[in-house]
């Protein structure tokens, strides 16, 4: 069966590792998914340019070279918690969103920690192997109870907190070291939150680690730290390989400083097969219980993380906000739903400004902008998504041809590189009572320091030209039923849905103008879907602009300039893009002062 045009334009996702079919099934409803296991690094780089999404677990190394080759890539999804195998700074610079599943496997990791703790305390792996070898060594395999013992936890995050609650359920005392943990949360879980690692190590009978792998945590437990622990204590690591120094751990086991270790993660995975390596000796050591990175390996966890990251991939490819992006600001769930329609609105306002007010040939315009949020939207704690959407809308009409992706991840970097300055303001001005929320964009020339002791003589034409260049431009918008609407363009009051192909005509508001424009478009076989006439309602681009924005707009001549009530904008929604010939015909034959074609 031949592929349809819709199939040919569907986004593509690459999955080079095994993921739960539940999540991939969600993806396949709207995008194409290629499962290509066993690819080399070179093969990945060769094929990655064809994909918009990359889904990995822990084996695939998402390097800077791979990301640079991924010209269409919008998202890297890591089905798990850590992103050690992803070059996040390189992805950020390229505007590629990196998402993970921070909560999909926390229960599995916590349960595996407790399973290893009990296995180590009761010598279960050794006892199982002994019995299978037809031995009966009850006296050699005497273990210890955990009740009444102290469990030390490094990192009281989501996994650490669940482990703490499970340990308390077994009658253990729990102490934890975490500079960012909430004292009230620790108190509620009956955890003694200590001030430093140095306070925790001497009191722990069992020590478990639940921190990410960072420069500050690499080798966190080495010779000196293990030397501070009780003689005969035990260590667990179900977090990340390398946090515990494998050489130091092996030495402590052999010296008897610690009497047991339980390791699920290694510095190099799979571990080096060299029998003389520290990892190989740990695996072979009779006092070490080892598993091959099984912390998240439950049916439920694999389903959870797969569904979670696949849902996020679909959201990002649809232009929605990421909920678990590791290289983007965290958006509170309560704010997420409220922000989404306004993200679309602000992006369209930025695009409308660039297409309507700037020259396509010069690709130049204002570089200083005020964004004022009024009403309910001003209550949102983070406006980062709105800022990013504006930068994307502002630059996309120029940059899309270059394949450059602007989003919440790299918007600030893009703005800085292009010299774009955005002043974000929140206002409770009563002028917004007509709308529950209103966003106003003011584009203005950058502030310039006055020249000292300088006198110029300029002609009237030059003066008028300078004033024209310093003219402010204003666009206001609101949302209705979660759809974006434009309510103002400069002095003209309007209300139209910001969607599709638009023709915006600036003309004198005289009888017959609509018929002339409609007739000219009809001759070019351009159908008009809707039309809105916007009268010149505002005075000098100031009235009904939020007070904070008004201060930036006022000039000494504002008070005396009258409103041109005979001018109007005619906004027409049409069924296709029109060429310069049609636009020129509207100006020459339709009595239109100026015209622009906009695609939103």
Q: Which positions are annotated as active-site residues?
A: 240, 269, 293
CB atoms under 10 Å from CB of 457, counted, come to: 5
Which value, to the nearest 10 degrees, does the dihedral of the CA atoms of residues 104, 107, 113, 116 take? -110
Environment class of residue 77 by beta-carbon count within 10 Å: exposed (0-12), middle (13-18) or buried (19+)? buried
The encoded tokens of residue 191 equal 């955890």
Q: Which residues contact 24 (CB under 8 A, 6 or more apart)?
A: 15, 33, 35, 306, 310
**Distance separating alpha carbons of residues 27 and 55, to the nearest angstrom:** 11
The encoded tokens of residue 260 equal 């047991």
Q: Which residues contact 96 (CB under 8 A, 6 or more apart)?
A: 67, 70, 73, 74, 75, 76, 405, 409
The encoded tokens of residue 69 equal 């080759």
Strand partners of residue 114: none
CB-based contact 193:156 (threshold 8 Å): yes
Which value, to the nearest 10 degrees, does the dihedral of the CA atoms of residues 208, 210, 213, 216 take? -80
The helix/strand/coil state of 497 is: strand
The helix/strand/coil state of 112 is: helix
Distance of CA 165 to the CA centre of its chain: 32
Q: Distance between the two ends of the chain, CA-based, in angstroms? A: 35
Environment class of residue 57 by beta-carbon count within 10 Å: exposed (0-12), middle (13-18) or buried (19+)? buried
Give the 3-state secondary structure of 374-423: EEHHHHCCCCHHHHHHHHHHHHHHHHHHHCCCCCCCCHHHHHHHCCCEEE
């Amino acid at each position: 069966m031949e592929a349809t045009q819709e199939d040919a334009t569907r986004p593509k996702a690459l999955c080079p590792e095994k993921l739960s079919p539940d999540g991939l099934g969600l993806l396949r409803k709207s995008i194409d998914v290629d499962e290509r296991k066993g690819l080399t690094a070179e093969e990945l780089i060769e094929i990655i340019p064809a994909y918009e999404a990359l889904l990995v677990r822990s084996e695939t190394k998402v390097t800077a070279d791979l990301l640079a080759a991924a010209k269409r890539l919008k998202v890297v999804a890591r089905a798990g918690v850590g992103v050690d195998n992803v070059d996040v700074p390189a992805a950020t610079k390229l505007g590629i969103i990196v998402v993970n599943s921070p909560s999909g496997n926390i229960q599995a990791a916590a349960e595996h920690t407790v399973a290893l703790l009990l296995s180590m305390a009761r010598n279960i792996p050794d006892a199982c192997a002994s019995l299978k070898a037809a031995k009966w060594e009850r006296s050699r395999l005497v273990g210890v109870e955990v009740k009444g013992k102290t469990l030390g936890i490094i990192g009281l995050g989501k996994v650490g907190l669940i482990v703490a609650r499970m340990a308390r359920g077994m009658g253990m005392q729990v102490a934890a070291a975490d500079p960012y943990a909430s004292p009230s949360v620790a108190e509620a879980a009956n955890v003694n939150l200590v001030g430093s690692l140095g306070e925790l190590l001497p009191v722990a009978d069992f020590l478990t680690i639940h921190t990410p792998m960072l420069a500050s945590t690499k080798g966190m437990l080495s010779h000196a730290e293990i030397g501070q622990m009780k003689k005969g204590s035990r260590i667990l690591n179900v977090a990340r390989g390398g946090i515990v120094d494998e050489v130091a751990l092996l030495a402590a086991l052999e010296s008897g400083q610690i009497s047991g270790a339980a390791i699920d993660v290694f510095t190099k995975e799979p571990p080096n097969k060299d029998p003389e390596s520290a990892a190989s000796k740990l695996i072979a050591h009779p006092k070490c219980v080892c598993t091959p990175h099984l912390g998240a390996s439950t049916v439920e966890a694999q389903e959870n993380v797969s569904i979670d990251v696949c849902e996020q991939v679909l959201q990002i490819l649809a232009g929605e906000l990421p909920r678990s992006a590791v290289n983007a600001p965290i958006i509170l769930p309560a704010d997420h739903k409220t922000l989404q329609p306004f993200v679309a609105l602000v992006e369209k306002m930025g695009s409308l400004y660039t297409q309507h007010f700037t020259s396509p040939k010069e690709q130049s315009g204002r570089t200083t902008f005020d964004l004022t949020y009024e009403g309910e939207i001003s209550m949102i704690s983070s406006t980062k998504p709105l800022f990013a959407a504006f930068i994307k809308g502002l630059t996309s009409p120029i940059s899309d041809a270059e394949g450059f992706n602007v989003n919440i991840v790299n918007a600030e970097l893009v703005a800085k590189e292009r010299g774009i300055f955005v002043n974000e303001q929140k206002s409770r001005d009563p002028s917004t009572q007509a709308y529950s929320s209103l966003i106003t964009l003011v584009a203005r020339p950058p502030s310039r320091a006055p020249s000292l002791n300088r006198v110029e003589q300029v002609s009237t034409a030059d003066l008028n030209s300078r004033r024209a260049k310093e003219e402010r431009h204003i666009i206001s918008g609101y949302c209705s039923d979660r759809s974006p609407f434009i309510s103002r363009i400069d002095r003209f009051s309007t209300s139209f849905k910001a969607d599709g192909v638009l023709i915006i005509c600036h003309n004198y508001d005289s009888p017959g103008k609509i018929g002339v424009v409609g007739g000219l478009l009809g001759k070019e076989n351009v159908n008009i879907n809707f039309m809105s006439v916007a009268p010149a309602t505002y005075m000098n681009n100031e009235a009904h602009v939020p007070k904070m924005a008004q201060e930036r707009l006022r000039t000494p001549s504002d008070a005396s300039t009258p409103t041109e009530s005979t001018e109007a904008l005619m906004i027409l929604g049409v069924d296709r893009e029109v060429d310069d010939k049609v636009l020129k015909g509207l100006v020459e034959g339709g009595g239109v002062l100026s015209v622009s074609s906009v695609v939103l």
